[in-house]
Every structure is written in C-alpha cells, then in structure tokens.
Chain A
Amino acid sequence: MRKEEKEELIEEWQPEPLVPPISKDHPALNYNIVSGPPSHNIVVNGKECINFASFNFLGLLDNPRLKAAALASLKKYGVGTCGPRGFYGTFDVHLDLEDRLAKFMKTEEAIIYSYGFATIASAIPAYSKRGDIVFVDKAACFAIQKGLQASRSDIKLFKHNDMADLERLLKEQEIEDQKNPRKARVTRRFIVAEGLYMNTGAICPLPELVKLKYKYKARIFLEESLSFGVLGEHGRGVTEHYGINIDDIDLISANMENSLASVGGFCCGRSFVIDHQRLSGQGYCFSASLPPLLAAAAIEALNIMEENPGIFAVLKEKCEQIHKALQGISGLKVVGKSFSPAFHLQLEKSTGSRERDVKLLQEIVSQCMNRSIALTQARYLEKEEKCLPPPSIRVVVTVEQTEEELEKAASTIKEVAQAILL
C-alpha cells in the first residue's frame, strides 16, 4: 500500500465509543444507599428496615468484641499494609489468622487473600493450566468461572448436582485417555464444586464426589463461602456436615465476608497443596495484603465461633422456620435447601421475558422495603454468566432475626406477592 492510502485509512477509521450509553432507568444503575451500619436494623434509602439481604449469618457485623479487636489493631498498625506479602506486608496478625484458620479447619496450612472474589479466582489458575481438565458444576458462581477462564484449561460442565452426569463425563474422559495414554499421564484433572451453591441454595453431594475422586483420580476443589461457619456441628462446613475426612478434599476455599463478617478470603488444605499458592497465586503475590484490622476482626470472629458452637444449631432452626413459612406463596417458589441460610424466591411462572420478570420482582422488593423488610434481587451479569440463573429475590437468614421478625417477613412477602402477581 502506498503511504497516501495508509494515511487515508487512518483518517477514515472510526472506533466504537469506549462504552455504550446506559439508559437512566437501567435496573442496576441506581444503587440502594445504606446510611449507617448494614447490620440487623438497616436504614435503606432513608427507611428503617429489618435486614434480610446481607450475608451476616452469625450476626457478627455489629458485635462489640469484633469492633474492639479491630480498634486495637488499628491503634497498633494503622489501616493499610503498604505492600504485598513478599515485601514487608506480612504482619504477625496475618500469620496468626492463617494459623487459627488451619487449626479450626483441622488442616495443615491456610493462606489468606485480601479479597473474597480473588481467592478462588487465583487458586484455580495456580494449579490448573492449559491442557488440564476441570469438571465444574453448571451452577458454579462467577468467581469460579473467572478462575477457570484465567487457567486456560479444558472446562467440562456437568448438570447441577447431577452425579450421574459427572460420572458420564469422567467415563468419556477415561476412554479418551486410553486412546492417548502419554498425554493422559501429564493431564491433571480437577473437580470444582461449591459446598452450598450461591445461585441455587443446594448442597453438593460430597460423599459421592469423594468416591468419584478416587475412582477417576481427579482432585477436588471445594468452594465453601456459604457453608463455612454455617454447616456442621462446629461450623467447619460441608465436610463436617457429612463427616468426611478433610484430607480427602485437596483444597477448600472460602471467603471471610459472610459468616466471619470481615473482608478477604482463605484457602486451606495440606501444605503440599497450599504452599504452592505462596509463589503462584496471582491475587496473593501481586497484591497488597489484608489490612491488619480486618484480620484481627476475623480472628475475633473465629474466637466467638469456637466459644459458642450452639450458634449453628440456632441458625439452622431459623432457616427451617422461614423456609416452612414461605412455602405455598402463590406465584413464588422457594429455591434452596431448608438449612441453607441464603436461598432464592423465583417466579413460579415466568412472564416470558427476563426484563419483565426482573421488573416484577423489583416491585415486590420495593413493596417489602416500604413495609420495613429489606430484601434484594440476586444480581448477575447477564451477558457474562455461562449459565445464567433465572431472576430471583435473595433471602438471607441470620441468627439475629427473632421469630416474630421471621414470621413478619414471611407474611409481608406473602401479601405483597399476592397483591402484585395476581
């Protein structure tokens, strides 16, 4: 091409705008503004409500002991750590927290991250690389999806909680292996599942998963953000719930932003597995460490969890109560296990378009807010999710909600749903 032709092309080229315009009434544009602490009695957009939307399962958000521990840490260390873990960003509080988490979960080692989302999204690509195979549930949360995308591995999705489907995929892979044994010898396999699924409130069938693990030689990565501090006699999660030896699970990842009411996340497991992340976990090596006051709050939350193990039974009871109370609402169905503290209310019959469904549910949510019950719709990135769940209202149960409040919530939702959906 001659120089003039090139210059013409450069003159003519017009890029798309950097971002497409967003209409003023996009449903996710205007956030609810919470004034003051987002605890049990929450003030949303100026209205005082009872909080049924924050993942504050153990009610530790406004616990005075947590605040005192965080305050002491603030007075000693200031706020930020000013560096990643490798460069003077490792504080004794971090080492303490890792120790405590490992002891609590009865594993050899734990590693903490400064952001819940980054935990599983950095852990998966540290082990699974291009050419490896990962079997993951269709309803896996977005953080797992991003971790898988970053790993560049082969992803094989199996139907939600369907062990037969998973076994079918594993068998198919076995047949492939026999065709090419040399390749099979260097291809790692992983199964990624969640303890309690964020998108559906279901529990993963861990005993069957462990059986499949040994039969087909695949390692299990378990994401326990919702089940840590909820399931099991002492709150150790889904392994305690089923009574499975924790060494059978290669990696357990959870965030500290739900039951522990802090910020950040952790992974725990055997040293052989966890130590590798200290050099290859991207969110660990290349990012500043967790502010010490948040780590101190998490340690105190662990203390509280260890001191009153009865709290988990109380939470379970309240979950069962509201689950029962919300059955039989015309137009809405409850999606999730009865002991899952975060479950969904979906429309029994969709109107046909997702946009209209979202609008309807938003109406229900606003009406409930007017009657002092704070709820929220479950938010998703519609174009980015691999298997987009249907629109739903997220209901979260915490130990701080009294029986009267649970009844009130159930009856409010019933009335509002009847008024709007019929």
Chain B
Amino acid sequence: MRPGPGGCCCRRPTRANGCFANGEVPNGYVRSTAAAAAAAAGQIHHVTQNGGLYKRPFNEAFEETPMLVAVLTYVGYGVLTLFGYLRDFLRHWRIEKCHYATEREEQKDFVSLYQDFENFYTRNLYMRVRDNWNRPICSVPGAKVDIMERQSHDYNWSFKYTGNIIKGVINMGSYNYLGFARNTGSCQEAAARVLEEYGVGVCSTRQEIGNLDKHEELEKLVATFLGVEASMAYGMGFATNSMNIPALVGKGCLILSDELNHASLVLGARLSGATIRIFKHNNMQSLEKLLKDAIVYGQPRTRRPWKKILILVEGIYSMEGSIVRLPEVIALKKKYKAYLYLDEAHSIGALGPTGRGVVDYFGLNPEDVDVLMGTFTKSFGASGGYIGGKKELIDYLRTHSHSAVYATSMSPPVVEQIITSMKCIMGLDGTSLGKECVQQLAENTRYFRRRLKEMGFIIYGNEDSPVVPLMLYMPAKIGAFGREMLKRNIGVVVVGFPATPISESRARFCLSAAHTKEILDTALKEIDEVGDLLQLKYSRHRLVPLLDRPFDETTYEETED
C-alpha cells in the first residue's frame, strides 16, 4: 500500500511477487557481489541518477503490504467498529456499566464538552489495549528498566498497582541512543555539583533575569559541536519548533513540509500564519514540483511572488525509521533559493561517524542548512532543544523568539548534563567513550535490522536508522505483541492509529549504545518466538542468514519465496 520513496533505485518495474524485473536489485535487499566489492572500496554506488550526490549507499525500503494482510486488517477494524456500536448501545441503555467519567449534574445543560463520535475510537478500540502505553517505570530508563506492575479488573478502564516491580525489563522503547541515561558516572556527578551550587529552578525568562552563565556556556558548546557560528538553547524540544518557526516566517511566506513531519513542526507551521504545502514523504520529485510551481505561479489569487520559502524536514522520521535525503534537498534548496529547516530530534548524536547527526552522516557542510534544530532529550539524556545557524539568525532569535521572552529558562543541572555528555561525544573529556558509543550504536543498528529481516519480518526505514519499525498491521496484534513481549520481560513500544495510517500499525524499537550483544540476542530470540506465535513474518523477501559474519557491512542474497 505504500508508494516507494522517489529517486534512487525505486522506479523499476516490479513483478507480481514483489521481485524486480530484469534481474535488477530491489532497494536495500540485495547487492551483487561485484557491487558489494565496490561499496567496500568506498566508491559511490547505485545512485548514479543523482549525479553522485551521495557519498555512501542509501538503503531505504518500505515493503508493500501483502494484499491478504491488508484485507484482514480492514476486516478486523470492521469487526471492532461493530462491537463498538454494540457496546455503546448497551451502555446507553444501561445494560452495561458505564465506566467513564461524566459531566457534573449542574452542567448537564451546557453544550457537551466532547463530541460523541470523537471519542468512539478512544472508548471502544484504544481502551481495550491501553495497558501497552503509559507503563510507569521506577528506575533509570537505561538498557534495562524496572516497570511497576499494573492490573485491571474492568478491562483497562482503571488500573491498580499490585506493588510488584518487574525488574530488569529490556528497554526497547526509550530514546536512549547513546546510552547517556545513567544515574552514575561523570555526567551525573557534574549535574549533582551544579545542582548543589545553582539549585533547580530559575524563575525568570532569558530576556529578564533568567540568563545564567551556564546557558551561555551551553550555547557556545552546541555551536562548536554542530560546526555553526552560533546557537540558542530552549527548555522544551516541542516548544523549540512551535515557538521559533512563527518567528522566522509569517504571512506571505511559503512552508513546504514533509507529509510525515512531527506534531511540533506542524503546530509551528500553523501558528506562523504562512501558507503550508505538503510534499510526499522523502520524495524529491514532489518537492521539486512544489518549488517550481511556487516560484512560477507565486501566491494564490494575487500572483505576487512569495517572500520566502522554507522547507521543513526531519533528520530521522521516528515512525518510519527513514532518513531524509539531505544531499538532494540541499541541491534543490540551492537551485531554487529556498531555506532549509532541519529537525534533528532523533538523528543528532545517533547518526554520523562522529555523532554530529544527519549532516555528518552524509558528509555535508553544516553551513548549507539554514536552520539546524535538534533536541537534547534523545541522545544527551537531558531535556530541551536548540537551534544552530548563522550569527544573524541567532541574534534575531535572541530578540524575537517567543521562548526567550515569555518562557522560563532551562534548569541548571539539566544544562550541565548536556554540557558533560556533549563534551564526552566530542572527545573533549579526554576519553574515547563518546566515539565508542557512536560506533556501538551503528553496529547495534546494522546487526539488529539484519537479524530481523532474516527472520522474515517487514521492517521499514533506512538500514542505518536506530529507529526500527516492525509492521504488525492488524489491530488485535498491537495489543498481543505488546503484552506477549512484556511477559517475556521485554518492553516495546507499539503504535497504531492515529500516529500511523490506520492499516499500518507497528512496533517500534529504539536501539541504544547501552544494549550489549547479549541483550540484543535475548530480545531477538523472544521477538522470533512471538513473531511465530502471532504470525508476524509477512515479508516475502526472506534473507538467507549469514552464519559467520555477525558485525559487518553485509552482503546477502535474495531467495524467492
């Protein structure tokens, strides 16, 4: 059901069973031995139609949903909807007990606060599987985590804590890419020292009296880390987008936003008042067409030229596991004189040989990206966001960003955690710990993805992305997968509608440098078992497993099923 990403390797005729005609290689699955030798020699490989923009192979795949699976998924939703109507009917006529809270007696004649239909999905589908989300934990969110056990006696309407703690659950859900979520070590000690000295809160905004010397130190360090002239840090990653995009563009400007952008980017774009046009996910033809049309035809109705064009993309898309085609986006932006806003929430620290994100991954110049945005929550084990770029940009944001004027500045121990972890990644603390973490994450990613594909699951996204979506499709399997994995002591994240399209529910694994090979192997064994139990191995491109090369730039051959 999913259209293949445009560009590189995917405009080839396919046969009905999913294999490509004329013996060519489908994207990401097969490399002939000759091509593999070329890749091993570090040469440009299989992206010739883009004029050699890519210095390394770009392997991204979104296998098509098998027809039978799609049909069964819709049937499943149909059955659930019918039961939903039945249940609502029973609740309305008080045959079944009504568990959810209702409006006060005194306000019963007010216009009802919620539309009945709006909550249909929540009442009848989400409620049944909601024990898979909001699982409370009581330890560091590291490679292993302790989950508080919950029980429900009324089909998930309410939870009771049994008092038991499920210890040592393998954590495949937290965004802990470089393993900095720790309660011991140099980061924690530095944060503790700053907490003693500065306290916890700040009680003022950056422009008033909340600008500490620590904040200035952090901003200089972030600018050095990214390789840009200056940077500015904010207290919340979500708010970094929603408060700064309106400061950069306004009415009369055009925003070209990727189909699958995060809610914060969408909110920021809406609040700015600019016109928004959406291009297909990671599809460069779609983006180019929008750019051409925008400049040629100007604003709708008045035909005046646009004041500015801003392209909003993310480094790694967290639901798809795909990586933005940055070389092509930058080429397009230069050709059409647009500005580029890159949200590296998931890719900073997690991609690239030195952990500098997707710009580093493609070997590009950070000055080519006009606005480099990212968050400190994922790879740095803290919270907050930053924007980096030219000095003029940062000066402008210092005076006009909503956050600098109205929002409280960052808490000092959090700032110190970021400073220490960033210095560690850069190697400025004198150890090679940062480099090892970056490498470990890359190895874990490749290993984990390869093993899952060998088992026969459908895995979306780029080979190098530490976000690994495993397709489930059917609504019942969402709940089943989450619960079965927890029974086997593995905590996973499952996502369904509305975060994903209705027929494409998935389980999403977030790999971490803190995961050792043993932990990954345990997890893989259990995923294999559950996959067989729930019949999740939908892939029709089963890979022959390599027996003797565990951590490798792999070559594998395709078999036809």
Contact A257/B493 with A80-B377, A276-B114, A287-B236 known, Cβ cut-off 8 Å: no
Q: How many angstroms from the CA of A369 to the CA of B239 in the assembled complex?
A: 32
Tell me whether A107 is interfacial, beta carbon within 8 Å.
no
The CB with the most chain B CB atoms within 10 A, among A85, A287, A294, A377, is that of A287
Per-residue 0/1 for B151-178: is the Cβ within 8 Å of any A Cβ (1 yes, 0 no)? 0000000000000000000010111100
**Stretch from A266-274, A322-330, A344-352 that touches the partner:** A266-274
Tell me whether B374 is interfacial, beta carbon within 8 Å.
no
Q: Is the interface of A mostly helix, strand, loop or mixed?
A: loop
Per-residue 0/1 for A204-245: is the Cβ within 8 Å of any B Cβ (1 yes, 0 no)? 000000000010011100000000000000000000000000
B337 touching A78 by the CB < 8 A rule? Answer: no
Q: From B169, which residue of chain A is reached at the shortest CB distance?
A: A88
Contact A273/B113 with A79-B187, A83-B175 known, Cβ cut-off 8 Å: yes
Tell me whether A366 is interfacial, beta carbon within 8 Å.
no
Tell me whether A333 is interfacial, beta carbon within 8 Å.
no
Which of B197, B263, B413 meets A79, CB within 8 Å? B413
Which of B106, B141, B208 meets A82, CB within 8 Å? B141
A53 touching B296 by the CB < 8 A rule? Answer: no
Tell me whether B83 is interfacial, beta carbon within 8 Å.
no
Tell me whether B354 is interfacial, beta carbon within 8 Å.
no
B137 touching A90 by the CB < 8 A rule? Answer: yes
B199 touching A66 by the CB < 8 A rule? Answer: yes
A34 touching B399 by the CB < 8 A rule? Answer: no
Q: Count of A-B contacts with CB under 8 A?
A: 348
A29 touching B398 by the CB < 8 A rule? Answer: yes
Chain A residues near B375 (CB-CB < 8 A) = 288
A380 touching B210 by the CB < 8 A rule? Answer: no
Which of A14, A31, A56, A80 meets B382, CB within 8 Å? A80
A70 touching B491 by the CB < 8 A rule? Answer: no
Which residues of chain A from 247 to 296 have any CB-CB distance to chain B below 8 Å in the complex? Answer: 247, 255, 257-258, 260-263, 270-273, 275-276, 278-279, 282-283, 285-288, 290-291, 293-294
A279 touching B336 by the CB < 8 A rule? Answer: no
User: What band does the interface of chain A fall in when counting residues whose beta carbon is under 8 Å from B?
Assistant: 35 or more
Chain A residues near B248 (CB-CB < 8 A) = 18-19
**Stretch from B400-408, B457-465, B528-536 that touches the partner:** B400-408
Which of A71, A74, A82 meets B181, CB within 8 Å? A82
Contact A79/B209 with A18-B308, A21-B392, A379-B405 known, Cβ cut-off 8 Å: no
CB distance from A326 to the nearest CB of B (A): 19
A117 touching B406 by the CB < 8 A rule? Answer: yes
Which of A71, A288, A379, A380 meets B195, CB within 8 Å? A71
Q: From A285, which residue of chain B is reached at the shortest CB distance?
A: B263
A31 touching B206 by the CB < 8 A rule? Answer: yes
Q: From B264, which residue of chain A is reached at the shortest CB distance?
A: A286
Tell me whether A336 is interfacial, beta carbon within 8 Å.
no
Q: How many angstroms from the CA of A286 to the CA of B375 in the assembled complex?
A: 13
Contact A88/B491 with A74-B183, A82-B175 known, Cβ cut-off 8 Å: yes
**Stretch from B52-60, B68-76, B211-219, B553-561 that touches the partner:** B211-219
Q: How many angstroms from the CA of A92 to the CA of B201 in the assembled complex?
A: 21
Which of B113, B122, B267 meets A219, CB within 8 Å? B113
Nearest 7 interchain pairs by C-beta: A19-B396, A115-B236, A287-B238, A31-B211, A272-B101, A261-B201, A82-B174
On B, residues with C-beta under 8 Å from A are 101-104, 106-107, 109-115, 122, 126, 133-142, 145, 147-148, 171, 173-176, 180-183, 187-188, 191-192, 195-213, 216, 235-239, 243, 248, 262-264, 267, 270-271, 292, 295-296, 305-309, 336-339, 370-371, 375-378, 380-383, 392-393, 395-400, 402-408, 410-414, 417, 491, 493
